[in-house]
Amino acid sequence: LPEDRGQPIRIKADSADINEGMGRAVYSGNVTMDQGSIHISGDKITVFTTDGTVTRMVAEGSPAHYREKPAADKEIIKAYGHTIDYAIAREQVTLQHNAQLLQEGNSFSGDTIHYNTVTQTVSAQSSDRADTGGRVEMIIQPKSKQ
Amino acid sequence: CGFQLRGEVSLPSELQRLNLSGVQSGSPLSQALRQSLTSNGVELSETADLSLAVLGYSTDQRAITFTGTGQSAQFEVSGTLRFNLQNSNGTELMGPFSLDAQRTYQSDQNNTTASISERKMIDRELERSLVQQLMLRLQAITSAQLAQAQQAAEARELQAQQAAPAAQ
Amino acid sequence: ATATPEPSAVKWRCLPDAQQNWVCEQTAGTPVTTGSGSRTGLVPTRPVVASELRTTLDWIPVQQMSAEQRAAIAPHCSGAYLEPEREGLASRGKPIDAPIRAESDHSSYLAGEQATFSGHVRVNQGYRQVESDEARLFEQTEIAEFEGNVVLREPDLLLISDSTRIQMQNGRVEAQAVDFAMHSSRSRGGAQQLVRREDGVIELTDARYTTCPPADNSWAITGSELSINPDSGFGSGTHAVLRVKDVPVFYTPYIHFPIDERRQSGFLYPQLGLSSENGFDLITPYYLNLAPNYDATLTPRLQTERGVSLESEFRYLTRESEGQVGGAILPSDNLKDKNRNYDEDRWLFNVQHDQQLSSRWDASLDFTNASDKDYLRDFGSSLEVSSADNLNQQLETRYRGGDDDLFWSLRANLQSFKNMREDKDDPYEKMPQLELTGGWNASEQLSFSWLADTTYFTRDDNWKYIGKLAEADKSEFERRYDIERSLYGEGADELTNANGTRVYLETGASYRWQWPFAYIEPGIKGKTIHYRLTNMNREDFNDPVRNPLGLEYDTSPSTSAPMFSLDSGLYFDRSTRYFGRSYTQTLEPRLFYLFVPEQKGQFQNPLFDSGVYQFSYDSLWREDRFSGHDRLADANRVSLGVTTRLLDNEGGETFRFAIGQTYYFDDRKVLLDPYYGKFQDEEGADSNLSQGRQWALDEAEASASPIASELVWHLSRASSLRQEWIYNVDQSWNQEYGLAYHYSTDSARMLDIAYRYSKRADRTIKDDDGNAIPGAFTDGSISQSDISGIWPLFGDWSLLGRWNHDLTNNKNLEILAGTEYDSCCYKVRFLFRQGLNGSTDDIENADTENAVVLQFVLKGLGGFGTNAQYLSGIKGYEEHDKSTN
């Protein structure tokens, strides 16, 4: 939700390695992060802060999960990916490696998915590296079913 | 020379009660079939398990010889009878068999109306010849062949049901 | 810095299930999401694949086909369009109800607005799949736009275009620069612009359509607008041009053609011909499919010697009735030479209608009429048609009552004929005929039968063919153009001019003992005939010329007679071996005794519908010597015959031979022609009876009938031999002989060789003007050979022909020689035909007609039409034409 940004961030993890000086904190061991309707979970979440405010979070997992309710009348958005990079300032979530995003019954998958939390645009790329050869896939539900 | 009087021609028991279908009752072909079947010990009834189904009967006439000036002199009438044996729900057991017979008759130059009466007689004789061939085919069917055909038909019916269970 | 993922190819795939919650499963390397194998190695870029597909259009050459696919390809084709396996090919239901699954290298999606894809885009929705370089889906309007090498696939349709716009919710497609193929109807085409409407009809502008395989430009139809309707199975177009090898050959403002086999006839192929009588002959049929159950064919025809004519045929089919109405009109025939109908309108009209009024009651109408007697000979293009003597004009209705044991049927029949011969008497008409027949199977052995027939016979007063108009009486014009006219008048013998009502009653009973080895069936019948004659004037009866037999004037003659018959037979069997195969051989002797006491005075009865049966093996067992009901033939004879059959283990008759003869205890007194009787009464006065009448008299006094035999031998599955032989012992000559050999393996190979002989009285020889030379006679017997067949030559060429030769007069009755080139999408047939047009009874000067015909069939476009009539002389040609179409 738009007001999530103002909410407090609560993180639970098995262990934490906080390096105030570097402005970086690494939580590991089934870590969960909640901020308002946003929920991220994964094996490891690295939180970047500049002068006390959290500017970016990177979660890793197999896969890591991201959930958010974009607006009161919209369904909860769910996303997965080996790494989920949540750049709060740029309001951009980037999911990488076997990324998967589900929005209003439509689903996207691919190597890299960019999701703008404000404009709710989703764009997906397949990586050009031959080895993974990933393709972007999108499923749009027929109107009758939505 | 080895010929003996024909012994009891026992049709397999299932063939002794037949339902005759595919012919309009009262038509000459139906009468010829009925008369030949009953006189060979077959009881005809609607409720019999097996039915003898006439799939098609057609006659066709062709001029085969001509006078020196190209007028038709003689006609050839050929008749074809197609039939098969079906079980109670209409699945084919044996057949389809196709029988044919030919007759020739003269085109009466100056009395067309007489030629039409001759053609009527020829049609009756064609029907009798085709029905006779049909009887010979029936009498050659053994109960073993019939039993095996019935199993094959049931297997086909089962398969048909499985293939399209929700065929609504 | 993003963490480098482990190299595992494990992928998560989550899909919404029915209740909108997510089902996630790990999928290892599913083809959908991970790069499929195609990525490895040098993958041809999409533009190359698409442009190549524009030419191959899913055409798979036969070498790369499985045996089962190979069996299904069309004759003479080197391959077929096969849809490749793909996701969604088998999915049922309308695409609108299925989710859209899009896959590409890059995609971006604004929720609820628009999704764009680029790089090897593939979009699947139900059974529809579209691949392209770029694609845009607009969610609100549910419109999808595809750009660049667009390949659209639906079951039975492949469509390649530069750009395509699809309305996902109703399936409307608009595409530019299109190449398409429809697999099951074996057709392909192209268009500058294609629109596939919501109802499935495909509209093409600047279009091209053909059923020729890719890269084969044998023929194509191009048109400014073509529309193809897969549901109705038809295509149509305006300003269509037929191009052969890209050369425009034929323009038609409107064209209508089938695109699948549902309806055999379609645009019937044009035919070009040259005939000695009609000159250059161009036939261009148009086929109009008005509705699934009725259609029409319009056939304009140009004959340079005669003029332009129009033929039309309208056919219809309903649940209880079917029928056909046809007509042809040639305004003012321009041909002068030997044409009785110069400058007159020539027309033919026919209607056939069969109606099922109820399960027991049906009615039928069969009426044909023509402007003149020569119509069939002038316009018919086969001996079968031109040899027809009469046009049937009949209205008949029948009701069948009772059940299987006690049955009866009442038939009402109005029948007359248009005599189509210039040299033959008009036959009697039945105006009306009421016939009640019935039977009762009282028990398995005892059965009764009855027949009551009341008919009013009539015909035109000038029914008798008198002779030809003498040269002197002809008009100058008729003399100059050698035109014959016939003279018709009253019959010389007054009795033959009679019309009137005849009531015929017959009732009989028979009792049949039946054992497996024998049967005996005695039968008795009573027959009676009563006439009420008109149109006979009393004075002529006193004139010896008009009443040569001196009959008293009697307008209500009648005759009655009882009949006793005894039919009996034995059955013998044995199993034997012939040609290395085991058979059951039967031996079936048969005895048939018939007794009918002679009834005198039958010469008073006119001859309405009675004639002499042609003697054959069957006539040994008949209850009558004459057809029809005007004579009650006396009989005191016994027929003996024996039949032997070889039955294979399925009961099929591989071989049958039957031989028999009738032995007469009394001479036959009742004869058909009154004259025979008269001379016979005067104790064998020698007379200058014509040969035919003398033979009939000899036959009536013979003590035994000719020996009759028939043979049927199925030599193999493909070939059979039939022989019929009647040897007249009394006169020691062959009376009838027929030998017919038939061979056909499949519809591409057919051969029929037949010879027929029929002993007939001598005939007079005619001089050049067609008048009989007094005293000059020649053999009138029929001795004819008839060889016809279709045989493949080499490659796709086959030879077809017929040679029907009259050995007695050493003349050819009909010669057909032609070759046929049969390729995958067209057939060209070149034919030469020479046939007798049988206009006069004058054999010496019978004129023949030569015709050269070029026909071509655009396969899949045209069925066979009136043009196959040319070939009806070749036995079995009909299925050949149908199967290779």
Q: What angle do CA C75, C79, C81 make, to 5 degrees?
A: 110
Residue type at position C362: D
> Are A135 and C34 an interchain contact pair (Cβ–Cβ within 8 Å)?
yes
At which residue do the structure tokens 């591989």 appear?
Answer: C654
Q: What is the mean pLDDT of residues C407-431?
A: 91
DSSP letter for each residue of A70-115: -STTSPPEEEEEEEEEEETTTTEEEEEEEEEEEETTEEEEEEEEEE
Taking the C-alpha atoms of residue C414 and residue C427, their distance in angstroms, rounded to an integer, is 14
Residue type, C228: I
pLDDT tens digits, residue range B107-141?
776 678 888 888 989 999 999 999 999 998 998 88
User: Is a pLDDT exceeding 70 seen at residue C680?
Assistant: no
Per mean pLDDT, which range of B83-92, C11-20, C610-619, C833-842 is the poorest? C11-20
Size of interface A-C (CB pairs under 8 A): 135
Number of neighbouring beta carbons within 10 Å of residue C478: 17
Residue C524: phi and psi, rounded to 5, are -130, 150
Could you give the C-alpha distances from C560 to A143, C609, C700, in angstroms and in order? 89, 17, 21
Which ipTM value was assigned to this complex? 0.71
pLDDT digits 0-9 by tens, C694-732 = 888 888 899 999 999 999 999 988 899 999 999 999 889
Average pLDDT over residues C741-768: 86
What is the C-alpha to C-alpha distance for residues C462 and C487, in angstroms, rounded to an integer?
A: 9
Average the pLDDT over C569-595 and give the result. Answer: 93
Model pLDDT for residues C443-489, shown as the tens digit of each residue:
888 999 999 999 999 999 999 888 888 888 888 888 888 788 888 98
**Given C402, C428, C846, which is nearest B68 (Cβ)?**
C846
- Is A124 in Cβ contact with C102 (below 8 Å)? no
pLDDT reported for residue C613: 87
- Distance of residue B4 Cα from the nearest chain C Cα, in angstroms: 5
Min CA distance, C257 vs chain A (Å)? 38
List chain A residues with pLDDT less than 50.
129-132, 145-146
What is the reported pLDDT for C684?
40
Q: Which two tokens stand for residue C686?
A: 């020698």
**Dihedral angle computed from the Cα positions of residues C469, C472, C473 and C474, in that order, rounded to the nearest 10 degrees:** 80
For C794-816, how does the pLDDT look when each residue is reduced to its tens digit (9 = 90+)? 888 999 999 999 898 888 888 99
Residue found by looking up tokens 């009498």 in the block: B139
User: What are phi and psi for residue B162, nearest 5 degrees?
Assistant: -65, -40
User: Which residues have C-beta within 8 Å of that of residue B154, sequence separation ≥ 6?
Assistant: none
Q: Is C13 on the interface with A (CB under 8 A)?
A: yes
Mean pLDDT of C510-535: 94
Whether pLDDT at C266 is above 70: no
Non-local (6+) Cβ contacts of A5 within 8 A are A35, A36, A88
pLDDT band at C337; cut points 50, 70, 90: confident
- Give the model's pLDDT for residue C1: 34
Q: Do chains B and A touch (3 or more CB pairs under 8 A)?
A: no
Q: Which of C430, C573, C609 sits opposite B4 (nearest CB)?
A: C573
Q: Which residue in the set C576, C650, C722 is minimally distant from B102, CB to CB?
A: C722
Taking the CA atoms of C365, C371, C374 and C379 in sequence, report the sign of the dihedral they define. Answer: negative
Q: What is the pLDDT of residue C125?
A: 86
Would you give the end-to-end CA distance of chain B in angstroms? 64
- The pLDDT, as a whole number, for residue C785 is 95
Q: Pairing between strand C157-167 and C172-182?
A: antiparallel
Q: Which chain C positions have a beta carbon within 8 Å of A60's beta carbon?
A: 3
Going by C-alpha positions, the residue among C216, C266, C206, C218 that lies closest to residue C242 is C218
| pLDDT for res C17 | 44
- Provide the pLDDT for residue C34: 33
> CA–CA distance from C680 to each of C606, C674, C676, C685 (Å)?
19, 10, 6, 7
Choose the closest CB to C387 out of B70, B102, B108: B70
pLDDT of residue C542: 80
Model confidence at C77, in pLDDT bands (50, 70, 90)?
confident
Beta strands in B6-71 (DSSP E): 17-21, 43-44, 50-66
Highest mean pLDDT among C257-266, C288-297, C433-442: C433-442
**A22 CA to chain C: closest CA distance, Å?**
15
The answer to whether A115 contacts chain C (CB < 8 Å) is no
Give chain A positions within 8 Å (CB) of C91. Answer: none
pLDDT at position C154 over 50? yes
Query: Which residues, listed in sequence order, are joined to residue C398 by a DSSP beta bridge?
Result: C362, C411
Q: Which of residues 105-124 of C touch A (CB under 8 A)?
A: 105-112, 115, 117, 119-120
Contact A63, A80 (CB under 8 A): yes
Ramachandran class of C71: left when φ > 0, alpha when ψ lies in -120 to 50, beta otherwise? alpha
Q: Is the pLDDT of residue C557 over 60?
A: yes
Three-class SS state of C440 = strand
Helices (H), C682-727: 691-701
- pLDDT band at C353, cuts 50/70/90? very high
pLDDT surpasses 80 at C405: yes
Residue B53 DSSP code? E
Q: How many residues does chain A have?
A: 146
Q: Would you place residue C877 in the very low, low, confident or very high pLDDT band (cuts 50, 70, 90)? A: low
| Mean pLDDT lowest among C131-140, C227-236, C320-329 | C227-236
Tokens of C518: 């024998």
| Top-ranked range on mean pLDDT: pick from C179-183, C403-407, C870-874 | C179-183
- Rounded Cα distance between C775 and C584, Å, is 57
Q: Which of B9-18, C41-50, C208-217, C299-308 has the lowest mean pLDDT?
A: C41-50
Mean of all residue pLDDT scores within chain C: 83
b vs e for A6-36, b when ≥16 Cβ sit within 10 Å of the residue's Cβ?
Answer: eeeeebebeeeeeeeeeeebbbbeebbbbbb
- For the segment C333-359, the average pLDDT, to the nearest whole number, is 89
Confidence at C78, pLDDT banded by 50, 70, 90 = confident
Residue C28 pLDDT exceeds 50: no
The residue assigned the tokens 């002199």 is: B73
Residue C16 pLDDT grade (very low, low, confident, very high; cuts 50, 70, 90): very low
Domain B13-159 has CATH 3.30.160.150: yes
DSSP C630: S
Strand partners, A38: A35
Alpha-carbon distance of A127 to A97, in angstroms, equals: 9
Whether C874 has a pLDDT exceeding 70, the answer reads no
In angstroms, the separation between the Cα of residue A85 and the nearest Cα of chain C is 8
- Locate C522 and state its tokens: 């005695």
The pLDDT of residue C38 is 36
C464, closest residue in chain B (CA to CA) = B110
Contact A136, A110 (CB under 8 A): yes
What percentage of chain C exceeds 70 in pLDDT?
A: 87
pLDDT confidence band for C871 (50 / 70 / 90)? low
**C218 closest CA partner among C238, C242, C185:** C242
CB nearest C16 (choices: A80, A107, A108): A107
Given an 8 Å threshold on Cβ–Cβ distance, is C846 in contact with B69? Answer: yes
Average pLDDT over residues C188-203: 90
Provide the shortest C-alpha distance from residue A56 to chain C (in Å). 12
Q: Are A57 and A32 in contact (CB under 8 A)?
A: no
In the three-class reduction of DSSP (H, G, I as helix; E, B as strand; rest coil), residue A2 is classed as helix
